[in-house]
Amino acid sequence: MQHLIRFLIALLIVPLLLTSVSAQTDPRSLINAMAVGNLKARAAQIEALAATGDAKAVPALQALSDGALYFRKSDKQVFIAQKSGKNFDLIDPLTAENIGSFPKGSVSKVKVNNSLRRLIRSVIGTLTLLSPDPQIRIAAAQTIFKTGDPESLEALDRALVQEKASNVRSAMELARASVILKSDSTDADKIAAITLIQKGDGREGLPLLNEFAAQSDGAVAAAANKAIGEIEKTIALLDIGQTVWYGISLGSVLLLAAIGLAVTFGVMGVINMAHGEMVMLGAYTTYVVQEIIRTGYPGLFDYSLALALPLAFLVSGSCGFVMERTIIRFLYGRPLETLLATWGVSLILQQTIRTIFGSTNKEVGNPTWMSGAYELGGLTLTANRLWIVVFALFVFAALFVVLKKTGFGLQMRAVTQNRKMASSMGIRTPWVDALTFALGSGIAGIAGVALSQIANVSPNLGQNYIIDSFMVVVFGGVGNLWGTLIGALTLGVANKFLEPFAGAVLAKILILVFIILFIQKRPRGLFALKGRAVEA
């Protein structure tokens, strides 16, 4: 009989005990418990929330840190509160469900101070290590890496046991190494942590290692100083590589802007001051295409540049053809008058664009495949710049094939080398001139499509590149495509190496002085070409 009574008592007590334990570990109960107690009790409540390991508690803790956590006076239920006029909109801290609007007098703020805010930051970092979203787990690991809070070590070890994603695991291991350096671990563990930080994220870890080396001595300090030296060497090499990439990127832009000029100026000997406006027309063509797609066919936005390229070539090429037939054909052999005439055309085109589109910058968006950046061995390559480099090389290769492998290219080269002989062989030199000028202008138009992705589309767009384009063509060698390519890349890289020491404006001036001195030594540029411009 006594055994039966004990058994029945156990049946009654055990569920009550389980309910009590569950209430102590249930995030909602712990959050609602913040409605009562002082600040010391609140610290214990926050630590209890951290002990649950439930990432759902993060919004409530963040709201508490921001001063946006309130409890309803009538039932002591805790909510995230947002001001709505004279009332508060109460939001469930776990489900984010809007409970409704309540008068200010019906709720009271859960108190918090700076000490609790520091604790909350640490707890949030711990909880988010277990988030189902890998990006949140990486962000949490990075936060711990920066703070190095020793209290995060246990949570990191628990998260590392169940972490399967390699990139997240690497971030957590780096965070653990940071924590080890600020904990009471052994020297061997600290040296291993130093090696891991050096190999894993040297640039971000450099301030941490500098601080640690200043506070340490013996073998640990020596290991930290050695790691600092290796990291600084690696950073110096990466900085040089990044500068070279920036120079190549700038060089590809100069190549795009100058390659059309290499045809009109280099091959034909025409100083076309309206070349920049051909680039501008290509950029505005891109803007118009994107506006049509935005309003009528938004699903085609990622294909907008593919649609704009042929249209830009036709618009700028047609404009160049008309210029040659109506103005330039009468001015061959009179370079000063050609310069003045094309400068006048450039002013007309700029004003026409201002009249149609206005003088303000126009928005040209990046397709998704041109957005973001790529990491390559510690270098950051932005997607739009990378694609422009690829596009510039493609345009160069296509133009090279046209000039070397087609009948039109053969006629163009024949007219360039000996106009009279070409005419006597039956080549219609006036039409070759017109089509050559149209080709150069069309290439400038597709350059404008690319430049619209990295520069402001405005009536003055072309003016930013016309001087640089002439410098590239003259430096590389008038009329030589390989010279244009090498000249553009050389000037781009040189400009980027000079900018940190001289500034952007002075760097351009130094480049210009260098070209003037270089031309004094080699008047025909890097690669001399026999042609009409040379014979003249």
The per-residue pLDDT for 316 is 92
Q: How confident is the model at residue 202 (pLDDT cuts 50, 70, 90)?
A: low
Mean pLDDT of 269-288: 87
* Average pLDDT of the segment spanning 458-480: 80
* Angle separating helix axes 383-405 and 407-417, nearest 10 degrees: 80
Query: What average pLDDT score do residues 230-251 get?
Result: 86
Structure confidence at residue 126 as a pLDDT band (50, 70, 90) = low
pLDDT at 9: 42
396: Cα within 13 Å, side-chain hemisphere: 23
DSSP 362: B
Residue corresponding to tokens 């409704």: 100
Residue type, 274: A
Handedness of CA 336, 342, 344, 350 (dihedral sign): negative
What share of the chain has pLDDT > 90, as a percent?
6
Mean pLDDT of 395-415: 84
What is the rounded CA–CA span in Å between residue 219 and residue 226?
A: 10
**42, two tokens:** 């609140």
Contact 248, 386 (CB under 8 A): no
CB 451 within 8 A of CB 253: yes
Tell me which residue has tokens 């998260």.
159
16 band by pLDDT with thresholds 50, 70 and 90 = very low
Residue 3 scores a pLDDT above 80: no
pLDDT of amino acid 125: 66
Is the predicted pLDDT of residue 1 greater than 70, yes or no?
Answer: no
* pLDDT in the model for residue 218: 81
CA distance 328 to 480: 22
For residues 227 and 197, the answer to whether their CB atoms sit within 8 Å is yes
More confident residue, 497 or 478: 497
Residue of 206 and 269 predicted with greater confidence? 206
| 3-class secondary structure, 157 | helix
Evaluate if residue 79 carries a pLDDT over 90: no
- 140: tokens are 């949490």
**Cα–Cα dist 289/300, whole Å:** 11
* pTM, entire model: 0.67
Q: What does the pLDDT average to over 8-21?
A: 38
In the predicted structure, residue 17 carries a pLDDT above the cut 50? no
State the pairing for strand pair 373-376/87-91: unpaired
- Where does the pLDDT of residue 384 fall: very low under 50, low under 70, confident under 90, or very high at 90 and above? confident
Residue 302 pLDDT level (bands cut at 50, 70, 90)? confident
> Does the pLDDT value for residue 21 go beyond 60?
no
Q: What is the pLDDT confidence band of residue 460, given thresholds at 50, 70 and 90? A: confident
Phi, psi of 70 (to 5 degrees): -130, 160
Type of residue at 57 = A
Euclidean distance between CA atoms 404 and 340, whole angstroms: 32
pLDDT score, position 530:
53
**Stretch 25-29: mean pLDDT, rounded?**
74
Q: Residue 24's pLDDT is what?
A: 46
**Region of poorest pLDDT, from 54-63, 272-281, 482-491:** 54-63
Q: What token pair was written down for 85?
A: 């006029």
The share of the chain scoring above pLDDT 70, in percent, equals 90
pLDDT of residue 61: 80
Lowest-confidence segment of 4-13, 101-110, 228-237, 500-509 by average pLDDT: 4-13
Tell me what pLDDT residue 259 has.
84
**Token pair belonging to 298:** 């938004």
| Average pLDDT for 497-511 | 78
Identify whether the C-beta of residue 452 lies closer than 8 Å to the C-beta of residue 364.
yes
Q: What is the mean pLDDT of residues 118-127?
A: 73
| Cβ atoms of 254 and 469 closer than 8 Å | yes
Q: For the residues of 168-208, what is the DSSP string, one character each?
A: HHHHHHHHHHHHHHTTT--HHHHHHHHHHHHHH-HHHHHHH
Question: Contact at 8 Å (CB) between 349 and 460?
Answer: no
Give mean pLDDT, residues 92-117.
82
End-to-end, the C-alpha distance of the chain in Å comes to: 125
What confidence tier does 310 reach under pLDDT thresholds 50, 70, 90? very high
Name the pLDDT band for 338 (thresholds 50, 70, 90): confident
Band the pLDDT of 221: cuts 50, 70, 90: confident
pLDDT bucket at 108, cuts 50 / 70 / 90: confident
State the chain's mean pLDDT as an integer: 80
Tell me what the mean pLDDT of segment 500-504 comes to: 74
d(CA 297, CA 333) in angstroms, rounded, equals 49
- So what's the pLDDT on residue 318? 92
When pLDDT is cut at 50, 70 and 90, the band that residue 219 belongs to is confident
Work out the pLDDT band at 528, boundaries 50, 70, 90.
low
pLDDT band with cut points at 50, 70 and 90 for residue 266: low
Q: Is the pLDDT of residue 531 over 60?
A: no
State the DSSP code for 86: T
Is the pLDDT score of 315 beyond 90?
Answer: yes
CA separation for the pair 244, 496 (Å, rounded): 8
User: Is 314's pLDDT higher than 90?
Assistant: yes
pLDDT for 201: 64
Q: How confident is the model at residue 243 (pLDDT cuts 50, 70, 90)?
A: confident
